[in-house]
Structure 1
């Protein structure tokens, strides 16, 4: 008999998850909570849980804080995210933070059941139609890291100030270099990042950590 913790502040969606679980595992036990504090308490104190189905955006959680805290409270317990978010970036970050599955709330009941079964069987789950987009993002991220590695410390300093919207004159003042040197650094930044304008460079740099 499986025991699930369903953590979602929307009663209608908790009911939808319960219907899926009851339809596949008629002897399953389901614990419902509507906020992060309650989820943490159950995860910490109930040793019989087999899975947590967690909404990313619920009272007490901000960003991925809820997922990370539950992973700390119950590191061996599989957590599956059930969310209205469907962007590859959000899914990738959820998996990086320890989720074993990601189920968009737009999924059919059959797909939700398949996802839960996959994780219970020891596998991870991402919707097939989104897996390709996630893999493409990973590839682009790897390319970006390779390009960023070509930048010198001085060029990275200029790029950081570019992302803050500062003009060449202010960048030169803050870095105590000549404005002509700033222009030279920007030329090298554009070449190494494979872009054609400072605006494009700033957009690329948004994915870098300074």
Structure 2
């Protein structure tokens, strides 16, 4: 049976196609720019992508062994007026299960049906490392949209220049609709947002907290 297609929504380094490829296809050896990744059982590239505006803030937290500083996490709950640029990748549901397992540092992926059963606006606890929670955001073009973040109170920390460069590389791939704007998407039936990336890449870390 063919797995259904869903949107995996990236708001941090996985907005970069090259960065996402490491999670899908796997990577190993000293020349792997993002370190070793076991990859997905199905390494098929995304069928499509869309740029979105999310009504949730992104903060930098923790100290990543891979990056040496803070990494991006999406707030669990919306903040009115927030417009965080994100990139939705159209993947098979089993690919998303494999991908979030890698992000959560789990040896075994959750069953795809468990992710598919998350209700709109709901959450699924993965466990594992920092990226321990899957959120179902507003549907995109009639398909579920899933992302992964943390439910842990990790300390705010500064990101490294290498991490910020990867964020910038992803944003540089953003396409416009011919009017200098990204296509808007609805927020749970509450109208829509226009994504205008703030200066410096969009994701802001809290200061002094």
> Normalised by the shorter chain, which TM-score bucket?
under 0.3
**Which one has more relative contact order, counting CA pairs under 8 Å at least 6 apart?**
2
Computing the radius of gyration from Cα coordinates, the structure with the larger value is 1
When the two structures are superposed, what TM-score results if normalisation uses the length of structure 2? Answer: 0.23
- TM-score, normalised to structure 1, is 0.23
